[in-house]
Amino acid sequence: MKIKINTKRFIYLISPNKIHDKNLFYLELEKLLKSKKIYFFQLRLKNYKEKQIIQIGKKVRLICKKYKTKLIINDNPFIAKKLNADGCHLGQNDMKLDKAKKIIKNKIFGVTCHNSKELVKKAIKVKPTYIAIGAFFKSRTKTVKYKANISLLKYVKRLTNIPIVTIGGINNKNYKKLLLNNANFLAISGYIWNNNKYKPQEAIKKLK
């Protein structure tokens, strides 16, 4: 499935790994999507049972649909299919790419390629909707194992016209560097959800 590039909707928002208060989370998510800056919202819940993810996912799907935001499920194409989500995102340790693509069929299909040119080339063969590369900066969300740089971003842009999602420690002080070097989307999580200085709504307003 192809996606339309919209320079005003450049944020790929990723959920916190844990949701402590569901009602507060739904409220915050709706406020964030009202900004009209978010193209994708990825539900990434670690160590949750499938039943719990589906329960939360049903409510999130309604909120995303209301604001025309694409709902992506992390890791599991089966859950994405059950929820009738807009797509699925796979890491390198998840299911094989070609198998996952057959499950979700013509929906959005994203692939993590870390900082590897070889993984990018491998992903291109499967024709994903987008390719995610990073981490570009230090991240609060998780330990950075793979460090990417602008030269890799430029390399991937020369190699393919598949949209690129950049990830890793992106915030209001460094995001413009990626956009100026033609990143299509910025995957952001910790800066929004775990910001010691700004509340989620305030944080997203800093990304213009």
pLDDT averages per 10-residue partition of the chain, 208 residues: 85 96 97 97 95 97 97 96 96 84 92 96 94 90 82 97 96 96 97 96 96
Q: 107 Cβ partners below 8 Å, 6+ apart?
A: 1, 80, 85, 86, 87, 88
pLDDT at res. 141:
65
Find the CATH number of the domain harbouring 187. 3.20.20.70
pLDDT at res. 4:
80
Please report whether residue 177 resides in a domain.
yes
Please report whether residue 31 resides in a domain.
yes
- The DSSP line for 22-61 is HHHHHHHHHHHHTTS-EEEEEE--TT--HHHHHHHHHHHH
| CA-to-CA dists, residue 53 to 60, 83, 102, 106, angstroms | 10, 9, 22, 22
CA gap 112, 92 in Å, rounded: 6
End-to-end CA distance of the chain: 27
Please report whether residue 117 resides in a domain.
no
**Domain span at 201:** 11-109+167-205
> If residue 167 lies in a helix (H) or strand (E), which one and from where to where?
strand 164-167
Number of independent structural domains in the chain: 1
Contact 168, 139 (CB under 8 A): yes
pLDDT at res. 82:
96
Please report whether residue 179 resides in a domain.
yes
Please report whether residue 191 resides in a domain.
yes
pTM for the full predicted model: 0.95
Please report whether residue 3 resides in a domain.
no
Please report whether residue 89 resides in a domain.
yes
pLDDT at res. 130:
97
